[in-house]
Structure 1
Amino acid sequence: MMVVAKVPIDISATCQQKQLELLFLSSSTKRSISITKTFFRRRKCLITMCSTSHMPHIESLEHINSVQSRSSGLPIMVNGSTGKMGGAVLEAAVSAGLNPVPVSFGGPEDSGKIVQVGGKEIKLHGPSERESILSSVYAEYPNLIVIDYTAPAAVNENAELYAKVGVPFVMGTTGGDRERLYKTVADANIYAVISPQMGKQVVAFLAAMEIMAEQFPGAFSGYKLQVMESHQASKLDTSGTAKAVISCFQKLGVSFELDQIQQIRDPKLQMEMVGVPEEYLAGHAFHMYHLTSPDDTVSFEFQHNVCGRSIYAEGTVDAVLFLAKKVQSKADKRIYDMIDVLREGNMST
């Protein structure tokens, strides 16, 4: 996750004026362009310090041993393991001491493929015979937790499969019919962690936003909101995180529709205007929310920039450990989200 520290320096009046001109253009087209340009210009006029996922992660031996003792070879099945997110989760899981079973599900094009991780081979199966395969794996590994990072179109079908077999699962895949998803799990009375956002720190930010919206409704009545979100070009849908944050702002009194979000998917714009490092064009999440008072004299800005996928992979590992604990203790509650995981504490990173 990118941490932005803004240190005031000598900013010329010209730079300030250009920012204001760009920020408060009235037409919808100019407003869309202004979000990105203003964001980019601010980066030039501020000293920015970044902490990204490619930097070395230093952990004590005692901490690593603690994580591995909690995982103790817990069997997991990562569906969607040929995808970048699934691959990142596999690596994080192996590092944490979890035990990937030698089977995984993917699309028709993945059938027969082999994924190698941590010296192990995982054979992928397509849609056919999934129920019998999963039932067999679950019988062999009764403590199994399934992790789903497949495709939005497969969310409901996959959840129905897990529910039918009775295997607990962690669903990080976005999209699908979410109401149907929750009903499927509830009707089957199985354990699951379902969250479209697995980044723990981002989830904490969302929780803070929800608390503010609940306790101070209407606090930003009349304010104008501009939203920019940049993700890898392969992400076709609108960010679920952006939707959640906007929902909070709406409760705080801001008038804003989802179609007003400025989505950036063009790599050239992402590098030149948004400031995404080239090595993270294929995997990033840069969000900016800018609020302006009705008379343009007050502004607030919320920003979170994520480079890479490690933040989501680490959160997924925590969700798996959390869910395994709930299954073992036969907890009354069956459906959880990442807020529940955060509240539990004892996280791996």
Structure 2
Amino acid sequence: MALLLKAPCSGISQLEKTQIFKKQCFSLGNVNNNNVVFSRPRCLVPVVLSMSSTTKPIQELETPSSKNFNIPIMVNGCSGKMGKAVIKAADSTGLQLVPASFGSEEESGQTIEVCGKEILVHGPSDRESVLASVFDKYPNMIVVDYTVPSAVNDNAELYSKVGVPFVMGTTGGDRDKLYKTVENSKVYAVISPQMGKQVVAFLAAMEIMAKQFPGAFSGYSLQLMLFCIKVLESHQTSKVDTSGTAKAVISCFQNLGVSFDMDQIQMIRDPKQQIEMVGVPEEHLAGHAFHMYHLTSPDQTVSFEFQHNVCGRSIYAEGTIDAVIFLSKKVQSQADKRIYNMIDVLREGNMR
């Protein structure tokens, strides 16, 4: 089974590029420096089930029948690429954009213009007073958090203290402390490191399979490659953390009987390799996530491949907006449950 989420590119097709790349990478021996560490099995009878969809630019998702939900939304981290993508998705959906956002101290006082709307960025020093004032003006407001990982816990404590419901797509931070903070405050929140609805659905299916058929892949070996740059800034040279989605999929495979350690994950970060070998469109080098999971039977006569490729940020932005609409309904209905994830959003149905 392969889940393939891809963006169109000119010339050779994405599938052809992926097939060429797999032939190249699986024929390589052990290579260091974050390059491929796969070797091609001698004899394989591949079993591949493929689901394919194409992510569309946000503007193409607009339709004349789009609903105007008129939900006030405050996007923190609005100067970042993910924050801007969420604002565009919110604007096309008809949500009411609050003209205030939180950012770094260096960004404090700056005005960011997105979709013809101006947003004033506030620094850390006056966050609590600003949030309380904005929440008083927009009592039905939902906050969306796409700030830096180091701000996760402080931001959650702030939202919980003021009592503002929020959707957090930012990864990192102390996750146990994050959930404890929100649970103690009884504020409504959707917390999910993966906001792409289709990818979340794939993860849910994997979890169901792992629970219902434990050990189904016992003895199989797993090879995993990540071609992933979540957010690449021109000044950022630090190593990118391992994908949380990959960790979740690996956990499912482990429950299915596959022996695999997280440190076996191989990452391709070199832009030239990403273009020439992987087939990442050049315009998406700054924002893409290509994952390939390759399973091989003990006698090397059967192989399975699971793959999900995402270009751009529209899949995450659209999922975030669905989470905002979902959470707004939960707040209005005063639901007993307070903390949700994207699987809860998917189960609710009625998404755009």
Task: Report the TM-score, using the length of structure 2 for normalisation.
Answer: 0.85
- The corresponding residue for 1:41 is none
Q: Deviations over 1:37-82 (max 9, x none)?
A: 99xxxxxxxxx987243497366533x1xx22xx1x2111100000
> Is 1:243–2:218 an aligned residue pair?
no
> Is 1:282–2:286 an aligned residue pair?
yes
Deviates more, 1:117-126 or 1:90-99: 117-126
Q: Conserved in 2, the CA contact under 8 Å of 1:53 and 1:307? A: no
Q: Conserved in 1, the CA contact under 8 Å of 2:100 and 2:121? A: yes
Residue type of the alignment partner of 2:112: V
Residue type of the alignment partner of 2:75: V
- Secondary structure of the residue aligned to 1:128 is helix
Task: Report the TM-score, using the length of structure 1 for normalisation.
Answer: 0.86
- The corresponding residue for 2:317 is 313
> Is 1:224–2:227 an aligned residue pair?
no
- 1:311–1:23 CA distance, 2 compared to 1 (3 A): same
> Is 1:53–2:50 an aligned residue pair?
no
Question: Please, which of 323, 337, 341 is the counterpart of residue 345 of structure 2?
Answer: 341
Q: Conserved in 2, the CA contact under 8 Å of 1:75 and 1:101? A: yes
Q: Deviations over 1:197-217 (max 9, x none)?
A: 000000000000000001111
- 1:307–1:294 CA distance, 2 compared to 1 (3 A): same
TM-superposed CA distance for 1:345, in Å, is: 1.0
- Give the Cα separation in 2 of the matches to 1:283 and 1:176: 21
Q: Conserved in 1, the CA contact under 8 Å of 2:113 and 2:119? A: yes
- The corresponding residue for 1:165 is 162
- Secondary structure of the residue aligned to 1:109 is coil
Question: Please, which of 185, 188, 195 is the counterpart of residue 188 of structure 1?
Answer: 185
Residue type of the alignment partner of 1:272: E
How does 1:46-85 map onto structure 2 within 5 Å? 51-54=54-57, 57=60, 60-62=63-65, 64=66, 67-68=67-68, 71=69, 73-85=70-82
- Give the Cα separation in 2 of the matches to 1:199 and 1:215: 24
Q: Conserved in 1, the CA contact under 8 Å of 2:88 and 2:115? A: yes
Give the number of aligned pairs.
326
How does 1:122-271 map onto structure 2 within 5 Å? 122-232=119-229, 234=232, 236-271=240-275
- Give the Cα separation in 1 of the matches to 2:61 and 2:151: 37
- The corresponding residue for 1:42 is none
Structure 2 stretches lacking a partner, 5+ long? 42-50, 233-238
Give the percent of matched residue pairs that are identical in Structure 1 and Structure 2: 66
Q: Deviations over 1:251-297 (max 9, x none)?
A: 11111111111112211111111110101001111010000011111
- Give the Cα separation in 2 of the matches to 1:186 and 1:211: 26
Deviates more, 1:50-59 or 1:187-196: 50-59
Q: Conserved in 2, the CA contact under 8 Å of 1:23 and 1:35? A: yes
Deviates more, 1:53-62 or 1:270-279: 53-62
- Give the Cα separation in 2 of the matches to 1:118 and 1:26: 49
- Secondary structure of the residue aligned to 1:218 is coil
